Each structure stands twice: as structure tokens, then as C-alpha cells.
Amino acid sequence: SQTIHQWPATLVQPVGSPLSLECTVEGTSNPNLYWYRQAAGRGLQLLFYSVGIGQISSEVPQNLSASRPQDRQFILSSKKLLLSDSGFYLCAWRAGGSNYGYTFGSGTRLTVV
């Protein structure tokens, strides 16, 4: 069966520090991978998605970047965190386009102080 792992679960980082959140998927090949951010009282905001190794699409200009070095690995990064980067980050995968449902990771609560 397919599983998705996301870590860390919580993270407290100072302003200006770098960020690296990692997400891996098991039990499937060539998944579509996604990074979402969830703000309180608002819908999930798509940050990045990838349909293959090295293929990254950015939906929102921001202080973040994403990379997909391996088929089932998706990394969210920042060189210098801002206070506004605080939030709940979710990694997700799905087998194809919008006809398929998402499987989400357990999320990372990032607090920038």
C-alpha cells in the first residue's frame, strides 16, 4: 500500500534561518507531488507541484523553493525564513490529475520567531 512520510512534525526556526522540509512516498511510482500551506481559517494554498523528477511548478511567488531529486522525494526549502512563512505545511501525492484524490502527509507546523 502507498504511504507518505513528512517530517519534521513541528519546527521552530528564527527569522533568516534556512528551511528544509522533506516528504517521501512509498508504494507507488511517478506520483504527482504537492506542497500546500494551510493558514488558520483559510483553504489550502498550493505552493508547488511536480509531475516528475526535476519538474517543479510554482503557483505562488514567495520566499520558498521546491526540489524533486528522486521520483518519490519532494523537498521544500528556503534560504532565509520570514515571519510570514509560519504555517502548517502539507505534502501530498496523487496518482494523476484531478480525477484522483490526494493522500496527504501528517503535516509540519512551522513557527518562525
Partner 1 sequence: KNQVEQSPQSLIILEGKNCTLQCNYTVSPFSNLRWYKQDTGRGPVSLTIMTFSENTKSNGRYTATLDADTKQSSLHITASQLSDSASYICVVSRNTGGFKTIFGAGTRLFVKA
What single string gives the DSSP state of each residue in the chain? --EEEEE-SEEEE-TT--EEEEEEEES-SS-EEEEEEE-TTS--EEEEEEEETTEEEESS-SS-EEEEEETTEEEEEESS--GGG-EEEEEEEESSSTTSPPEE---EEEEE-
Our finding on whether 93 is near partner 1 (CB under 8 A) is: no
Of 2-41, binders to partner 1 (CB under 8 A) are: 6, 41
Our finding on whether 49 is near partner 1 (CB under 8 A) is: yes
**Contact pick of 14, 54, 69, 97 for partner 1 (by CB under 8 A):** 97
Our finding on whether 1 is near partner 1 (CB under 8 A) is: no
Our finding on whether 42 is near partner 1 (CB under 8 A) is: yes
Our finding on whether 106 is near partner 1 (CB under 8 A) is: yes
Q: Which residue has the cell 503557483?
A: 59
Our finding on whether 54 is near partner 1 (CB under 8 A) is: no
How many Cβ atoms from other residues are within 10 Å of residue 75's Cβ? 20
Cβ distance to partner 1 smaller for residue 53 or 107: 107
For partner 1, the binding residues (CB under 8 A) are 6, 41-44, 46, 49, 57, 88, 90, 92, 97-99, 101-107, 109
